Amino acid sequence: MTKREQFQQASLLNVTRRHFFEECGVGIGKIALASLLSGAFHRTAAAGSMVDPLAVRPSHFPGKAKAVIQLFMAGAPSQLELFDHKPALAAMEGKPIPPEVIGGQRYAFIRPDAAVLGPQYQFARHGESGAELSEMLPHLATVVDDIAIVKSCKTDQFNHAPAQIFMNCGFAQPGRPSLGSWVTYGLGSESDELPAFVVMSTGSGISGGAANWSSGFLPSVYTGTRFRNAGPPILNVASPAGADARLEAETLGLVSHLNRRTLTRDGDPEIATRIASYEMAHRLQTSAPELMQLQDESPETLALYGCNPSKASFARACLIARRLVERGVRFITIYHEGWDAHTNVAGNVKNNCRATDQASAALV
């Protein structure tokens, strides 16, 4: 036995039962999780077939909702100008921030000598609920009894990207599954022609990037698919002009055959994801163009959303989201970023509400 082998053997003798569970608990959990996630693939691989990872699954509890459309206002909107009226701020306008607000902490963009800014817009009560909404939300005010306004949420994340990821994944650091990934993992999708989890964006972009719709440690088949808001929803899906359809079909058939052989041999769920991606891309060649034909909508519907079918906008994204749900897509997120108002709060709120209020109410 070499000195290295003697050292390794002696080291193993120092590993106590408690140390083993403390240091290796995470690894055991990952092994168990991998077994749960890939068990179906291994069982079917032996039979030479593949379970559809996005097949509809029964829920543990009966629910009325069949799909989710998440409107993510990134930036973020000032609740003080939209949903949470603070009359006392008007009396405090121009005065120094009370010490208890800062609490001895240091915050980005908040100077200790900063002055209070009072409400920039008027509030009024609406509906039978009497909920107070800003005058900048005239359309949402008409459906206020059909929505819930939660005022008890809080966070210690004050930078854009970590806060967005925290909101979507429950953790500020990338690497965890997003809400859309969990929903599609748990319930599957009712659409065979479109992705189960679709992401769109308007405004100035998404600070947190793809981590917001990541599948994390779940198989990547549950990752969100990003759609463009104008033109083809996904680039390079359509066959190039002059392509031989027969040759393309034979090529795809060969690729599928090789992938399925590898899946049968290895049982890796990521290979199943690869197969599903190729098959979905092929189906999108026909389903995507039909989805984007907003000219099929009635003039009344377009007017309800405030949508110009030929122009990329939040309203257009909302209308596409409704069409996705009608076609069985399980989860859609629309990001509208641009609410970050360090200056010109009144103008920022006005412009963003003009872009989002009408279509949001139309969806409701």
Secondary structure of 95-156 as H, E, C letters: CECCHHHHCCCCCCCCCCCCECCCCCCCEEEECCCCEEEECCCHHHHCCHHHCCCCCCCCCC
Q: Which of 15-19, 123-127, 170-174 has the highest mean pLDDT?
A: 123-127
pLDDT band at residue 44 using 50, 70 and 90 as cut-offs: very low
The overall average pLDDT reported for the chain is 85
Q: What mean pLDDT comes out for the span 125-137?
A: 97
Name the residue type at position 237.
V
Give the pLDDT of residue 3.
58
Taking the alpha carbons at both ends of the chain, their separation in whole angstroms is 73
Tell me: pLDDT of 108 over 80: no
Give the pLDDT of residue 33.
47
List the chain domain ranges: 37-41+44-77+157-363
**CA dist 325 to 113, 310, 331, Å?**
49, 21, 8
Output the six-digit token pair for 46.
Answer: 């032996």
Give the pLDDT of residue 26.
46
pTM for the predicted model, two decimal places: 0.80
pLDDT band at residue 1 using 50, 70 and 90 as cut-offs: low
**Distant-in-sequence contacts of 25-31, Cβ < 8 A, 24+ apart:** 30/217
pLDDT in tens, 56-82: 988 888 888 899 999 999 988 999 999
The neighbour count for residue 363, using CB atoms within 10 Å, is 18
pLDDT in tens, 191-210: 999 999 999 999 877 888 99
**CA dist 238 to 94, 219, 313, 317, Å?**
58, 26, 24, 21
Give the pLDDT of residue 43.
42
Tell me: pLDDT of 41 over 50: no
- Give the residue, 244 or 189, on which the prediction is more confident: 189
CB 194 within 8 A of CB 284: yes
Give the pLDDT of residue 140.
97
Give the pLDDT of residue 113.
80
Output the six-digit token pair for 143.
Answer: 């459906």
**Distant-in-sequence contacts of 138-142, Cβ < 8 A, 24+ apart:** 138/357, 139/357, 139/358, 139/360, 139/361, 139/362, 140/357, 140/360, 140/361, 140/364, 142/361
User: Which has the closest alpha carbon to 180: 188, 172, 192?
Assistant: 188
Give the pLDDT of residue 134.
96
Query: CA–CA separation, 119 vs 90, rounded Å?
Result: 6
Q: What mean pLDDT comes out for the span 235-243?
A: 81
Query: CA–CA separation, 22 vs 118, rounded Å?
Result: 52
Q: Of how many residues is the chain composed?
A: 364
Name the residue type at position 291.
L
Tell me: pLDDT of 127 over 60: yes
pLDDT in tens, 340-350: 888 889 999 99
pLDDT band at residue 50 using 50, 70 and 90 as cut-offs: low
pLDDT in tens, 212-226: 999 999 999 999 999
